[in-house]
């Protein structure tokens, strides 16, 4: 079983407008696709986890003409689930084409990043995993970030925003989590280039998410 970490950048004309919204607005910092299915009526049913302003996000959904239904559910003080039904676009079919009839699985979550990339992990037969990479149209930018055997456990980092992951990584590197502690929040903040209160907030929220996951109350 081969493993692939992949980043794909769609041309603007085919990109989902909600991904463009994430790129253009600061109110939403992370959007993850956790589950999805299609119907015989050419409707996609998708479940997102979104970190950001729920009201701003739902207002943007209202403006998307092919969205036929949606519902949001609060997760915590800064994130929520968004259940969305929308008409399947030709662009959606085009994005999926490299995966059709391949013996591969896409591992959730798929991340729609604010820099325009769609990031995902794929596992399957070696020849089929490579065929996925080769199958994207020429106008798509495709980058392989990692390829090898799949040996991952549950990825707690998927629950964190990019800035939270960065803060935790810096804190680990500097020794913030060592016993005894060999770095302060001020040192982490200096490395991140932000205020100490901001660094502390990133670390606190990251720790809270990982703790909830550890006891089974975070999804």
pLDDT in tens, 144-162: 998 887 766 545 566 787 7
- Cα dist from 14 to 27, 33, 122, 163, 192, whole Å: 23, 18, 22, 28, 34
* pTM of structure: 0.71
Q: Residue 151: its pLDDT value, please?
A: 65
pLDDT (mean) for 78-107 = 94
Q: Residue 214: its pLDDT value, please?
A: 65
Closest CA to 47 of 73, 8, 15: 73
**CB of 128 within 8 A of CB of 104?**
yes
């Amino acid at each position: 079983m081969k493993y692939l970490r992949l980043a794909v950048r769609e041309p603007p004309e085919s990109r989902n407008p909600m991904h463009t919204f994430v790129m253009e607005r600061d109110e939403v910092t992370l959007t993850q696709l956790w589950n999805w299915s299609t119907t015989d009526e050419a409707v996609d049913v998708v479940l997102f986890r979104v970190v950001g302003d729920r009201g701003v996000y739902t207002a943007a959904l209202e403006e998307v003409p092919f969205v036929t239904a949606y519902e949001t559910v609060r997760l915590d003080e800064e994130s929520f689930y968004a259940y969305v039904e929308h008409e399947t676009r030709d662009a959606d079919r085009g994005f999926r084409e490299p995966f059709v009839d391949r013996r591969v699985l896409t591992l959730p979550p798929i991340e729609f990043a604010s820099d325009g990339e769609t990031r995902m992990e794929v596992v399957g037969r070696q020849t089929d995993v490579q065929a996925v990479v080769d199958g994207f149209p020429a106008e798509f930018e495709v980058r392989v970030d990692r390829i090898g055997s799949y040996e991952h456990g549950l990825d707690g980092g998927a629950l964190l925003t990019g800035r939270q992951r960065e803060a935790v990584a810096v804190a680990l590197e500097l020794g913030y989590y060592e016993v005894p502690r060999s770095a302060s929040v001020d040192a982490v903040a200096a490395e991140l280039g932000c205020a100490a209160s901001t660094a502390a907030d990133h670390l606190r929220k990251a720790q809270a998410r990982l703790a909830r996951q550890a006891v089974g109350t975070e999804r």
